[in-house]
Every structure is written in structure tokens, then in C-alpha cells.
Structure 1
Amino acid sequence: MRITRALGAALLTLGLAAAPAAADTPSPGPSDGKAPASAGTSFRTAAEIEQGQRATAGGSAGDYLYWSFPADTGQRPTVRATVKLPGTHAAETWRIDVYDGLRRRQSCQYGAQTRTAAAGASSVELACVLRTVRAWAEPWANDPLPGTYYIRLTAVGLPVLDRGLPVSAEVRVDAEDIGGPAAVDGSLAEPLVPGIATEDLADDDSRAVLFGLEPDDGWSSGWWSDRWVWTAAGGVLAALAGVAGYALTRGPGRPSRVPPGA
């Protein structure tokens, strides 16, 4: 009976510990704000979008189209783009690239990052699944870190006759919360968010005004991970297992030792 109660208490503790972790890591949803209908032409003019938004833009074949979005620790962003082409065109190769806040190009784990549209095709679809964003990395590493990310969409090796033809693009960013399996010991002091302007303060000083978008629940910077929950639950289970093992080895009804002559 004691062992059954101990196991029941352990399962209850584990369930209560895991519930807050699931509540604290909601999946990103569409923003209530209006998605941009145009794209930037450089890193500095990139159009800001939130995760879950579907942004659109018009342009000409041969242009560089830029968007930016926030990605936090433990997220694995997926960038998808659809380019709608004019009725008459030659074979065109389109490419989507993603850069972090330091403007380092990030490799795609999988996805059709580059695709060639056959002559006369109405559209081409691209995708890039990034590696999981880490809370901290060595200075020499190229690991994705929390902060602003940039999307660049363009045609490569474009035929001369197709340059300048009107095109339209749709871009969407979604992210999967990986959680504890991607946790590391360490965190950045601040996310990699570029300053876009300066703000005057009362003491004649100024500070950088950072990128306008951030995750719905703010930047975590790696201070929390569900690995803490499972570590605590494991400690509780180990303690209960020790109590149960002691009760089994001691045995029921075993009299306590009484010193002779007492």
C-alpha cells in the first residue's frame, strides 16, 4: 500500500510539473496586425512581419525582396515563399536565403531553397527550415541565435529578356517550439536585434531604438526551459524510489533492535 501511494504521488507531481511547461510555450499564431503588402530592397529597409502572418509584395524579376521577423530561443522557423510569374517567361531559377541578426547566412536543414520554374509556369514555391535557435553559442560558431532574421527572395541566373517582368510574392514564417531538447547552458545578454534609430533621453543622452517586433511573450534569452521541469520531476521520483526501496528491504512488522539489558 505504501509503494502504491508513493507511485501515485510521483505521477501526480510529474503531471503538475509538466502542465506549466506546456502552458508557458504556446505555439505562435497569426498576429492581429495587418501584414505588409510590400517588401524592402535591402537589410535596412526589410518589411517587418510576425510569425504566422502572410506577407505579400509586388516587384520585378531581378529585384531583391527583403522581409524580417523575430525568432526566439528553442524555436525552429520555417520560411515559405510563393512567387507568381507572368504568363510568358523563360525558365527562371528562384532562391530564398535567411540571415540572422549579424547578417550571417543561415543554412537550411531541409526544404526547396532553390527551384527552377519551367518556361510559362504560373508560379514557383520555395521553403527553408532553419536549425533550432540556440540560447548561446561560441563566438566562432554559426549557430542561429535569438533575434531578428532576414528573408531575401530573388531570381538567380535570370535570362536577359525576363528582367523587369512583373512578379508577385507571398511569404509566411511559422515556428515549432522544440523546448528542452535544444536547451544549452548559457544565454545571450541581449537578442541579436539591430538598432534602427536613436531616441533622445532627458539627460541629453541617446539610446538605440531596436527592431519593432518581438515574440508575443517577450524575449526569453534562454532563462527558461522545460528541462528544469523534468530535472525537478526526476529528483522527486528518485527520492520516492529511495523511500520505496527502504520500505521493501526493511520488511513489514520487523521489530526494532533493542540493546541487551535494556
Structure 2
Amino acid sequence: MRTTFRGALAALALLPALALGAPAASAAPSPSATASGTPAPATKAGTSFLTAVNLSPGQDANVAVSTGDYLYWAFGASEGQTPAVKLTVNLAAGADRHGPQTWSVEVFDGLRRRQACTAGTQNATGDQNTTALQLDCTLREVRTWAEPWSGDPLPGTYYVRLSVTDAPQPDLGLAGSVQLHVAAKGNADNAQPEGGELKAPLVPPVGGGASTAKAAAPAAAEEHWYTGWFSGWNSRWYWTIGGGFLAALAGVLGYHLTRHPRGHRPARYGAVPPQSGPHHHHEGYAERP
């Protein structure tokens, strides 16, 4: 009982210190941030657009890769900025490779449209003596708005895809590493006036157009007195019975036309030809006295 009472008194004695903000213990540094305050580099990469690893502003990526895999990262860009992507691909040891390798970097917008690079090396090839490849891509300035038919870069999410476009078959699966850095210059104050403003997201919202579903409903089909006879689950029975009746009628009619021609049937052995009279004689014979 005394031990419990002493513990309660000790807890009450610490309340003033906590209320004044005195730290009870030194806080451990966040594992997601470095000493300078910048986010720690990402150590993973996605394998598709849906699994792309999101990079926060100023965050790099340092990833161990396997030759032949598709790698995806995602970052955000606002109007007035000119994003630039820089990558360093550390290839596997030259003794393990069997030929040159070609790596490629591509950038897509939120609608997964491939964006053109105004500067940089999008494709790089290294032989067996090459230890690292440098790839970079500088996009166009992000606009505040664009025409629906154009492919201009708009504010939103952008995807970076790194892939191997050409490599010997035995080299697929070799271990390597990639360093990714995304930079952007400019801001909204430097954006060129376009005379418009982006008011809708790049991707339409889920369920868009549901309000117009009733207006676009097809018109009801016109009904007649015989509509119910040839529709529904029993329509095939009507068609079967009608088809069988027509087939039987056609057979009877065909038999009547082919086996019973018009007019009376002739006698079984044909008509008897007319006989000659008593004074009839053939030519070449003389009449007897």
C-alpha cells in the first residue's frame, strides 16, 4: 500500500514540469529526415504506374535494381515550374556482363501521356568497360491551362519510368543501383500568363457523367399487337412451330407439282393408233386380181 502511494506522489510531482513543457527525455531524430532537414532518399521503386513510389519535394531515390525491371517514381509539379530528372545507373561488374546495355528514361503526366524532353540524354548505352550511365530529361514549363486536344504539361503528378531497352539475355537479372534526383526551377510567379486557369483535375472524378445517365437513356421500342408473340422466353417455340409448318407446306406443294401435272393422266399403255381401211395398200405392192 505504501509503495502504491509513493508512486502516485512521484507522478504528481512530474505534472508541473510537463505542464511547463520540460522534456522528460530527448526526442529521437526522425528516420525519414536527414540532419539538414531534407527527406531521406527513397530506397524503393514501383513496377507500374499504380505502384510508383511517391517522392516528396526535394527527396531523392537510391535504389538497388535488377537489370531488366521497369522502375517507376512519382513527383508533383506546379504551374511555372520546369522539372528536370537526373539519374545515375551503376551497372553490374563488367566481368559479369556479356555485351552492351541501353537504358532509357521517360516522363509521363497524370493522364499517362508521354511528355517530350526539351534537353537531356534519354537513352544511354554502355559497353562492358562502362561502370555507370548518366540519364537526364528536362520537361517543358508547366502551364496553368491547355486546350483539351494538346499534350502540354499541366499541374499535377508526373511519373518517371526507367527501363532497359536493349541488353543481352544472360545479363537480365544482374544486380545494379540507381540514384534519382528531381529538380525544378521557377514558381507560380514566373508562369507566363495564358489567359486561363486550370479548374478541373487531369483525371476525371470517379462516377463522372452519372447525372446525365437518365438524359442519355435510349427511347423505348414501339410495341405492336404481335410483339408479345415473338419475344420472351417462348419465342423460339413459335419460330420452331412456324418453320416446321412452312417446311411441310412446301413439301406437299412440291410433291403435287412434280408428281401430278395439270390435265388428265394418260392411259397405262398409251392410246391405240388408228387402223387402215379395207382398200388400203402399201406402196411397192401390186394389187392382186
Q: Give the structure-1-normalised TM-score.
A: 0.60
Quote how far apart the aligned CAs of 1:126 are.
Answer: 0.2
> AA paired with 1:162?
D
Does residue 1:189 correspond to 2:199, yes or no? yes
Which residue of the partner structure matches residue 61 of structure 2?
55
**Could you tell me which of 156, 161, 174 is aligned with 2:183?**
174
**Distance of aligned partners of 1:194 and 1:87 in 2 relative to their CA distance in 1, 3 Å threshold:** farther
Q: Residues 86 and 167 of structure 1 are in contact (CA less than 8 Å); yes or no, is this contact kept in structure 2? A: yes
Taking the aligned partners of 2:182 and 2:165, their CA distance within structure 1 comes to 22
Structure 1 SS opposite 2:118: strand
Quote how far apart the aligned CAs of 1:193 are.
Answer: 6.6
Does residue 1:76 correspond to 2:85, yes or no? no
Does residue 1:66 correspond to 2:69, yes or no? no
Taking the aligned partners of 2:61 and 2:86, their CA distance within structure 1 comes to 11
- Structure with the bigger RCO (C-alpha within 8 Å, sep 6+) is 1
Structure 1 SS opposite 2:93: coil
- Structure 1 or 2: more strand by fraction: 1
Does residue 1:113 correspond to 2:113, yes or no? no
Count, aligned residues: 167
Which residue of the partner structure matches residue 141 of structure 2?
132
Which string of whole-angstrom CA distances, capped at 9 and with x for unpartnered residues, describes residues 78-124 of structure 1?
00011111112221111000000000000000101111112231110
Quote how far apart the aligned CAs of 1:35 are.
Answer: 2.8
Which runs of structure 2 are paired with 1:10-159 in the superposition (5 Å)? Answer: 32-88=38-94, 89=97, 90-159=99-168
State the Cα RMSD in Å. Answer: 2.1
Quote how far apart the aligned CAs of 1:33 are.
Answer: 3.1
Q: Residues 31 and 51 of structure 1 are in contact (CA less than 8 Å); yes or no, is this contact kept in structure 2? A: no
> AA paired with 1:188?
L
**Distance of aligned partners of 1:156 and 1:77 in 2 relative to their CA distance in 1, 3 Å threshold:** same
Which string of whole-angstrom CA distances, capped at 9 and with x for unpartnered residues, describes residues 102-159 of structure 1?
0000000010111111223111010000000001000000000000000000110221
**Distance of aligned partners of 1:145 and 1:55 in 2 relative to their CA distance in 1, 3 Å threshold:** same
Q: Residues 40 and 60 of structure 2 are in contact (CA less than 8 Å); yes or no, is this contact kept in structure 1? A: no
Taking the aligned partners of 1:194 and 1:122, their CA distance within structure 2 comes to 44
Q: Residues 91 and 120 of structure 1 are in contact (CA less than 8 Å); yes or no, is this contact kept in structure 2? A: no
Structure 2 SS opposite 1:66: strand
* Identity between Structure 1 and Structure 2 (%): 44
Quote how far apart the aligned CAs of 1:180 are.
Answer: 3.9
Q: Give the structure-2-normalised TM-score.
A: 0.54
Deviates more, 1:172-181 or 1:107-116: 172-181
Q: Residues 145 and 154 of structure 2 are in contact (CA less than 8 Å); yes or no, is this contact kept in structure 1? A: yes
Q: Residues 31 and 50 of structure 1 are in contact (CA less than 8 Å); yes or no, is this contact kept in structure 2? A: no
> AA paired with 2:49?
F
Deviates more, 1:121-130 or 1:178-187: 178-187
Taking the aligned partners of 1:168 and 1:130, their CA distance within structure 2 comes to 24
Taking the aligned partners of 1:111 and 1:194, their CA distance within structure 2 comes to 32
> AA paired with 1:189?
K
> AA paired with 2:195?
D
Taking the aligned partners of 1:169 and 1:190, their CA distance within structure 2 comes to 35
In our comparison, the structure showing a higher alpha carbon Rg is 2
Which residue of the partner structure matches residue 217 of structure 1?
none
Quote how far apart the aligned CAs of 1:190 are.
Answer: 4.1
